[in-house]
Structure 1
Amino acid sequence: MSPPAHTNDADTLAGVCAIDFGTSNSAVALPLRAGGVALVPLEAGQPTMPTAVFYLADGPAHAAEPDRLYGRAAIAAYVDGLDGRLMRSMKSLLGSALLDQRTDVGAGRAVRYGDVITGYLRQLRRLGEAAAGQLLPRVVLGRPVFFVDDDPARDRAAATALAQAARDVGFAEVQFQYEPIAAAFAHEAAATAEHLVLVADIGGGTSDFSLVRVGPARRARLDRQDDILANHGVHVAGTDFDRRVELAAILPLMGHGGHGPARPGQPPREIPVGLYHDLATWHLINTVYAPARVAEWKAMRGWFADVRQHTRLMTVLQERLGHALAAAAEQAKIDVALHGAATIALDAVEPGLGTTLDAPTAARVLQADQARIVDAAQETLRQAGVAATAVQAVFFTGGSTGLASLVDGIAAVFPAATPVRGDRFASVATGLGLHARRVFSGGASPAS
């Protein structure tokens, strides 16, 4: 596959793109005339962009639409405390009654939730067309096996809403492909015989598993729904890991898990934990900066046996360092995955302050979450009525598959399977691009 690069209309298949509209991150792929696909550099040269929109409250009141930022810029605006409204995980709105409702975005403005999705898709199309050097009226969109579990009517409504949003931003031809099938395409390209592959897609918010039938005889079929034997997932993934790491390795330096001074005849009083859990939960961090909450904790100095911990906590609250701590926890998780240990510098809280995280500690604090994810993989097979020994490959994709302990734990359940690592961030987009070539170039056979 081609790396992210600027292409032009001489390189790409005329008027065709593929979009992985993800819950946490999104990507755009362009099928190339010479074969393969190019991933569009969406932001800062990266082939993925957070699925996030920030509506700026500032701006002319008479403007038809409020100004907005996308992706990393949207998140940065929120972290920096700009006045406005951050919208994330818009994909989860599909199939819900909220889609046609309006939400306040600041300065007396309101937008339809559905228009939030449309605006983000429009930005993806613009970036794709800029990279391709041509209009892109034809698209393959990824879709989950189920937008909405156990509700076929809402699931159909979700797919219809996403297709309409794509048409509203200018796509004249819209096709879908299942995300686990797309992720499996790279593996299937080298398959010499039909077999079962478990696609493990473990991202920031969810861990999803799909048992998929692949093989050379199935490679060219457009309709692959009957090749998905089962699909299951849990809402446990990378952001949960970051939260566990922060609570275990960073926030104890600010008093989490600590106690107050000893008092005659009384056991030491435990420091309340609610604020710390909010500090470690990304979308709740800004709530800890409310003046009343800061004043409450400023008055709680006597609750801390170690007053240095209280001083550090107040620095975090008053200097609004919560997102910096969350980023430090995420980086520590990555460093442990890559190097087996992490050094966490916290000089912004206190000069010279720091701590470490080693692999055994990370494995201990993540054990419960990882066990739930492994059980979800096993449940996928139980739903399909297939023995673990029948799975011949496990295909790993998603940002959180960088954790060796998690990957090893899943692989251990399938002793006969070959672990296969796809592109952690762009396997789905790449597979969708390959499918777009088949759909729009006439090179695929009809579904059997």
Structure 2
Amino acid sequence: MKRFLYGIDFGTTNSALAIFDEETKEIHSTIIIPSLIYFYQQPNPGNAKNYVVGEEAITAYLNDNMKGRFIKSVKQVLSRSSFTETRIHNKRYNAADLVALILQELKERADELTGQDCRKAVIGRPVFFDDDDTQKDTLAQTRLSKAAALAGFDDVRYQFEPIGAAFAYEKTLLKQEHVLVADLGGGTTDFTYLILDPAKVGSKNRKNDMMASGGIYIGGDSLDSAFMWEKGTPYFGKHTQYEATPGKILTVPKSLFANICSWEQMNFFNGPRIKKDIEDYYYFSGQDRKFKNLITLIDHNLGYSVFQSIEKTKITLSNADTAMFSYHNMDIDIEEQISLPVYEQIIAKDVNRIAAYLDDFMAQNNIAPQNIDSLFLTGGTSMVSSIQALFKTKFPHVNVNSGDNFKSVAKGLAYSGYLFED
């Protein structure tokens, strides 16, 4: 019987699994799904699973008129000690429970292809789940380990995601190189500086080749949140005024709108106290039309569809000078042309933070730009024009390479079987 190893890249936006044949030492196949979970509005008593994962979650969400619980970016709650659990259909789900649903879906699809119950996996993790906070990082790792066990994996090793990306790139090389790998995903941006050598592919000990790793808690979701704050929230009443007491006019607190700019908060933005506050603001604003959009957004669980429009705008601006930020649903009407300079200004703060972190990373690890032979960029956020410009400006003498932005990490993790040689 063939032996298989699964390389799993559990991502904020998408998750991928590469099936590695341990006999042929080759990738058998790769699966990729959106990191989405949808719980039906009405549980089906005859069906033990009242949820769907991946592409089917989007279809079910739309077919259910967007009335159930739609959960996205669950990876970002792994390090959040403030998130303990959420109730869905009178059942409690903690962070590990939610992550396990996605890992289990990947495992079931892969097992169907291999015909085996594979329990051996190398699972990727960011260099830092939440910047340099050791306590949060430990919490996230503990939760991820528990999720892996719940999903049916009992022989697991963990590998930094950018190292996984590096090993995928190494398979394409003809000679030894000093490589700076940047993995720009939905939740984090991770860097690894290492020696890659095609002669060492599959070697058991690569510790001496790993010269430096680091990361920052900024990714594609951060860019989307910044865009939502600047261009989205005005359509949901960010500047709404209300009459607090007779003759006293105030503006609705900005903190209210921060909640709809962050997916991990929007997923659980349905408490009775918040809803009561929103209804009061709406009443005392004289039923402001744009503020009504906020109520519609929350009551009908439209967050995912709004962020889909933001994502589409971002992707378009990766290859064009202008894009339409367009959203029309349930009396919410947004149609605004966004130029590339405007978009770049919106995301500049986050891009500058990535640039500053990269400078610190290189300085602290004594990495001289002239010693870098090549750059390898992976992850969906690496396609953003400002990110591309950042690397080309900092390293004008270095070739910028990229692989499959959504499968490279999973494949590289599958090539990390040496981790099981204890």
| TM-score with structure 2 setting the length | 0.78
Which secondary structure does the structure 2 equivalent of 1:395 belong to? strand
1:181 Cα deviation from its structure 2 partner: 2.1
- Distance across 2 between alignment mates of 1:223 and 1:183: 17
- Find the counterpart in structure 2 of residue 29 from structure 1: 18
Q: Which residue does 2:393 correspond to in 1?
A: 412
1:70 aligned residue:
53
The aligned runs of 1:252-331 (5 Å cut-off) are 252-257=234-239, 272-285=253-266, 287=269, 291-301=275-285, 309-310=290-291, 316=297, 321-331=302-312
Structure 2 partner of 1:380:
361
1:230-265 per-position Cα deviation (integer Å, ceiling 9, x unaligned):
22222111111112222323333444357799xxxx
Correspondent of 1:243 among 222, 225, 240? 225
Partner of 2:196 in structure 1?
214
**1:358-412 deviations in Å (ceiling 9; x for gaps):** 1010011111110001112222212211112222211111111120111211332
Q: CA deviation at 1:107?
A: 4.9
C-alpha distance in 2 between matches for 1:79 and 1:302: 29
User: Any unmatched runs of 5+ in structure 1?
Assistant: 1-8, 42-46, 441-445
Aligned partners of 1:21 and 1:141 also within 8 Å: yes
Residue equivalent to 2:170: 188
Q: What is the rounded CA distance, in whole Å, between the counterparts of 1:334 and 1:256 in structure 2?
A: 26
Contact 1:395 1:419 in 2 (8 A): yes
* Structure with a larger share of its residues in strand: 2
By how many angstroms is 1:200 displaced?
0.9
Quick check: 327-336 or 274-283, which moved more?
A: 274-283
Partner of 1:338: 319
CA distance in 2 between counterparts of 1:154 and 1:299 reads 40
- Which among 395, 414, 418 is matched to residue 433 of structure 1? 414
SS in structure 1 opposite 2:376?
strand
Question: Does the Cα contact within 8 Å between 2:126 and 2:190 map onto a contact in 1?
Answer: no
1:128 aligned residue (88, 93, 110): 110
Check conservation: 2:96, 2:146, Cα contact below 8 A.
Answer: no
CA distance in 1, matches of 2:368, 2:40: 49
**Equivalent position of 1:6 in the other structure:** none
**1:138 positional shift:** 3.6
Aligned counterparts of 2:300 and 2:102: Cα–Cα separation in 1:
32
Pairing partner for 1:48 from 28, 33, 46 = 33
SS in 2 for 1:48: strand
What's the counterpart of residue 365 of structure 1?
346
Task: Please list the CA deviations of residues 285-316 of structure 1 after superposition, one character each: whole Å capped at 9, or x if unmatched.
Answer: 3637954134223224359xxx6645655655
CA contact (8 A) 1:389 1:415 kept: no
Query: Is the contact between residue 230 and residue 384 of structure 1 (CA under 8 Å) also seen in structure 2?
Result: yes
User: Cα distance 1:278–1:158, how it changes in 2: closer, same or farther (>3 A)?
Assistant: closer
Tell me if structure 2 keeps the 8 A contact 1:55–1:105.
no
Pick which of 202-211 and 171-180 moved more: 171-180
More contact order relative to length (CA 8 Å, sep ≥ 6): 2
Q: Which shows bigger deviation, 149-158 or 275-284? A: 149-158
Which residues in structure 2 correspond to 1:9-20 (within 5 Å)?
A: 14-20=3-9
- If you compute each CA radius of gyration, which structure gives the higher value, 1 or 2? 1
Displacement of 1:153: 10
SS in 2 for 1:347: strand
Cα distance change of structure 1 residues 127 and 352 upon mapping to structure 2, 3 Å threshold: closer
What value does the CA root-mean-square deviation take over the aligned residues?
A: 4.4
| Letter aligned with residue 363 of structure 1 | E
Name the amino acid aligned to 2:170: E
74, 88, 92: which one aligns with 1:88: 74
Shift of 1:429: 0.7
Deviates more, 1:215-224 or 1:67-76: 67-76
| CA shift digits 1:52-75 (9 cap, x unpaired) | 5759884669x9x87443345557
Query: Quick one: distance in 2 between partners of 1:250 and 1:97?
Result: 28
Aligned-pair distance for 1:339? 2.4
- Cα distance in 1 for partners of 2:123, 2:204 equals 14
Partners of 1:151 and 1:313 in 2: CA distance = 34
Give the counterpart letter for 1:299 in structure 2. Answer: Y
Relative to the length of structure 1, the TM-score reads 0.74
- Rounded Cα–Cα distance in structure 1 between residues aligned with 2:71 and 2:297: 23
Paired with 1:88 and 1:57, the residues of 2 have a C-alpha distance of 22
- Deviation readout 1:48-106 (Å, 9 max, x if unpaired): 33065759884669x9x87443345557659934269889227836xx999xx984534
Equivalent residue of 2:179, what SS? strand
* CA pair 244-113 structure 1, distance change in 2 beyond 3 A: closer
Q: Does the C-alpha gap of structure 1 residues 108 and 422 become closer, same or farther in structure 2, counting only changes over 3 Å?
A: same
Q: What's the offset of the Cα at 1:112?
A: 6.3
Show the counterpart of 1:3. none
CA distance in 2, matches of 1:310, 1:148: 33
- In 1, Cα distance between equivalents of 2:407 and 2:25: 17
